[in-house]
Amino acid sequence: MNALNIPTITLNDETEIPQLGLGVFKVDPGETERIVSDALEVGYRHIDTAAIYGNEAEVGAAIAKSGIPREEIYVTTKLWNDRQGDAKAALSESLDKLGLDRVDLYLVHWPVPSQDTFVSAWEQVLDLREAGLTTTAGVSNHELEHLERIIEATGEFPAVNQIELHPEHQRQELTAFCRANGIAIEAWGPLAQGKSDLLTLPQIQEIGAAHDKSAAQVVLRWHIENGTIVFPKTTRRERMEENAALFDFELSETEHAVLTALEAGRNYSTNPRDM
């Protein structure tokens, strides 16, 4: 099985992450093994899952069956909110399900400020990195004030922050802080989770037509050109192929600016501060 030729981003711990992968949020466990197998056959080598998605075992089964050497597949999973006091056991359970002895990236899934245990959760994830159970340590859904607290407490900058990010929700202040501090940005909901009219906007369709690309490819290309890591979710093999065909065209400055101008401060999911 041949890998697609996907660029990598070098993280602040000097490891490399493929800039494109497949996300499996809300992928039914009964379908996950087939979908991840399809993605690996198409040439994806980066899978983003989470304990809460309930499909780690099926992700692991597809990886095992693929016969692809472990070091060629980048696997991310995440620490769920009710396990922030218990990260070591939580990651061990995830590893058992995945059938792996380490993940590439382990993320604190949400800070959950009302619970106020995210600093301790981050400290535990750093310990798990030291123990070799995850190669890289990162966070997800962390706002500025959460990043500042974990950095202040430990002196350690997360390698990534995985946040809701798309043309309608660009998080300028947060992303500027991350970029200035060497924290790579992963966009979840890079296509606005299919909840917006983004892909039917005439200005995006027009850009697509000019490059013989779909609206989804235009939006994903915009993320790639911003240096963001993406793992759009799809269960359909032809869309896996489509979503990976991003490296044979470039947006002009004007085209890029058309997408950037869509900023509306509009998120389609939970605000991390409200949890």
Residues binding ligand NAD (CB under 6 A): 23-25, 48, 109, 140-141, 162, 188-194, 199, 214, 216, 231-234, 239, 242-243
The position carrying tokens 């809300």 is 26
Provide the minimum distance between the beta carbon of 109 and ligand NAD in the complex, in angstroms, as a whole number: 6
Nearer to ligand NAD, 35 or 95 (CB): 35
Indicate the angle between helix axes 144-154 and 118-130, nearest 10 degrees.
Answer: 50
What are the Cα distances from residue 213, in Å, to 4, 160, 206?
A: 18, 29, 10
d(CA 267, CA 166): 9
Please calculate the CA angle 58-64-65 and round it to the nearest 5 degrees: 90
Residue closer to ligand NAD by CB (options 124, 141) is 141
In whole angstroms, give the CA distance from residue 245 to residue 169. Answer: 24
Q: How far is the CB of 50 from ligand NAD (least distance, A)?
A: 7
Q: Which is nearer to ligand NAD, 6 or 24 (CB)?
A: 24
Report in angstroms how near the CB of residue 23 gets to ligand NAD at its nearest: 2
* Cα separation, 39 vs 239, whole angstroms: 10
Looking up tokens 């030729």 gives: 5
Closest CB to ligand NAD among 107 and 254? 107
Q: Which is nearer to ligand NAD, 135 or 140 (CB)?
A: 140
CB of 76 to ligand NAD, least distance (A): 8
Are the C-beta atoms of 70 and 30 separated by less than 8 Å? Answer: no
Q: Is 106 a catalytic residue?
A: no
Locate the DSSP E strands across the chain: 8-10, 16-18, 22-23, 46-48, 74-79, 103-108, 134-140, 160-164, 184-188, 229-230
Minimum distance of ligand NAD from residue 112's CB (angstroms): 12
Q: Which residue is nearest to ligand NAD (CB)?
A: 23
All residues at 6 or more sequence positions from 116 whose CB lies less than 8 Å from its CB, including other chains: none
**In terms of CB distance, is 167 or 189 closer to ligand NAD?**
189
**Which secondary structure element, helix H or strand E, spans residue 208, and what is its range?**
helix 202-211
Least distance from C-beta 222 to ligand NAD, angstroms? 13
Q: Which residue numbers are catalytic?
A: 53
